[in-house]
Every structure is written in C-alpha cells, then in structure tokens.
C-alpha cells in the first residue's frame, strides 16, 4: 500500500500485511511518518526529555489583572 509521509510528503510503499499498514487501515486518522521523520521526531523528543525542557502542553503565559 502506498503511504505519504505527513511531514516531508515523500511517498513510500509499505507491505500490505505489515503492522503499520494494519494500523493505518484501522485508523485512517493515524498519520504516516517515513523513517527519516520518525527518527528525527524521536531524537528531538529524547533530546527534550534529557534536558528537562519537555512539555506536552505549552502553558500560556497569562498575567492576571486584579
């Protein structure tokens, strides 16, 4: 099955019977990432975790006017 990477838009052919293909078919919302982008994101995430700056949600800076 042909899949398109959500980040760099490269089109790849993955095995119809692979776990990844199954996942994509079951959940069409699930976006495909090519190996390169997947690794890049993983690296970035690990980098942030190790520096302690990792946040799942960015908390907005709100100043309260009293």
The residue written with tokens 């949600």 in the block is 57
Among 3, 7, 14, 21, binds Zn ion (CB under 5 A): 7
Nearer to Zn ion, 33 or 64 (CB): 33
What is the contact mask toward Zn ion in residues 45 to 64, using x (rule: CB under 5 A)?
--------------------
CB atoms within 10 A of CB 34: 19
Distance, C-alpha 17 to centroid of its chain: 22
What are the DSSP E strand ranges found in 1-66?
2-4, 11-13
Among 3, 14, 24, 37, binds Zn ion (CB under 5 A): 37
CB of 26 to Zn ion, least distance (A): 21
């Amino acid at each position: 099955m042909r899949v398109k990477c959500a980040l760099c838009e490269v089109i790849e052919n993955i095995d119809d019977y692979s776990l990844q293909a199954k996942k994509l078919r079951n959940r069409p919302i699930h976006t495909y990432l090519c190996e390169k982008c997947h690794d890049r994101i993983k690296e970035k995430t690990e980098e942030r975790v190790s520096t302690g700056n990792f946040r799942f949600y960015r908390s907005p800076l709100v100043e309260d006017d009293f």
